[in-house]
Amino acid sequence: MNDLPLDIVNEELYEHYRFTASEGQEPLRVDKFLMNFIENATRNKIQQAIKAGNVLVNEVVVKANYKMKPNDEVKVVLAHPPHENLLVAEDIPLAIVYEDDDLIVVNKPAGMVVHPGHGNYSGTLVNGLIHHIENLPKNNNERPGLVHRIDKDTSGLLVVAKTEFAMANLAKQFFDRTTDRLYYALVWGNIEEEEGTIQGNIGRSLKNRLQMDVFPEGDFGKHAVTHFKVIERFSYVTLVQCKLETGRTHQIRAHFKHIGHPLFNDERYGGDRILKGTTYTKYKQFVDNCFKILPRQALHAKTLGFTHPITKKHLSFDSEIPEDMVLCLEKWRNYTINSKQ
């Protein structure tokens, strides 16, 4: 019951092992090389890690048949911290939207990390949750109650399980794609279609493991589908509503970058610079001011719907767009009106 589907496990990677091949290293497959260095590791386990993109040689993801060379540096990175960290309860204010004996729905502010991890071992949503709720159920990765997550700089709704049964039930709903999730995103450019669908496998970038890439040929990554609908147009940016059919890490951010419309002020995916518009100095100042008002990617998890694990009733929740995003949209709205006069 504790096992969450792989879809739902957070994909942030933590370094577990690092080895450097010697000066006299003979050509040797990386899977065999690692078996010589990692105690009690089976070849199948190593090959599964390689297949998942968790083995890097000189910072590049490799396949099992890669031949190690002298001075090659190989790293194994997995989805959980290498050493268990004691979770500390912290009295952190939570924006609770709904709560009963089985689950809690919270509206996470931008800037809050969902769970402890590399570089963020306090001040997270989980730290606040374990202060608010005793004996939260733990999943495989020691992240109490979590069945899904949103990025640190994304705001919006999250459901957290309070019992083992609720966690297993909700996890299966996310895995079976029976939940309803709508996001609002401000993206660069004027999207031609009023609505559409973005499809393309999403996997960790082969060049930069902090990013996710889209692999349209399906040769790498996991199946991912994002449906979108235009809400409002602002000359050089567009407000869209996104419905997730799948829930991959950075799915909306990676998909919109793939179609040439990165999220506004998304530093990791290139949206933190002017991508559309004029060359006028006043326009540059205007965009810089928007960046200051909204110092993060313009993404908000607005609605969330699922079936209650016990009552079997469908629950649906909606959240207001946060102030920083509202102010940014207002500036773009005014700019568009003024530019037409």
Domains of the chain: 14-78 (3.10.290.10), 96-176 (3.30.2350.10), 181-339 (3.30.2350.10)
pLDDT of 135 reads: 81
State the average pLDDT for the chain: 88
Look up residue 58 and give its amino acid. Answer: N
Q: What's the average model confidence in pLDDT over 233-253?
A: 95
Q: What angle do CA 57, 248, 204 make, to 5 degrees?
A: 15
pLDDT of 52 reads: 81
* pLDDT greater than 70 at residue 267: yes
* pLDDT greater than 90 at residue 2: no
Distance CA 167, CA 161 (A): 5
Burial class (CB in 10 A: 0-12, 13-18, 19+), 338: exposed
Q: What's the average model confidence in pLDDT over 253-278?
A: 96
- The confidence band for 40, taking pLDDT boundaries of 50, 70 and 90, is low
pLDDT of 189 reads: 97
Residues with catalytic annotation? 151
* pLDDT greater than 90 at residue 3: no
Q: pTM, whole model, 2 decimals?
A: 0.75
pLDDT of 188 reads: 98
Distance CA 231, CA 137 (A): 39
Distance CA 5, CA 176 (A): 10
Q: Which residues of 274-312 are buried (b: 16+ CB within 10 A; e: fewer)?
A: bbebeeeeeeeebbeebbebbebbbbbbbbbbbeebeee
pLDDT of 119 reads: 55
Distance CA 91, CA 237 (A): 39
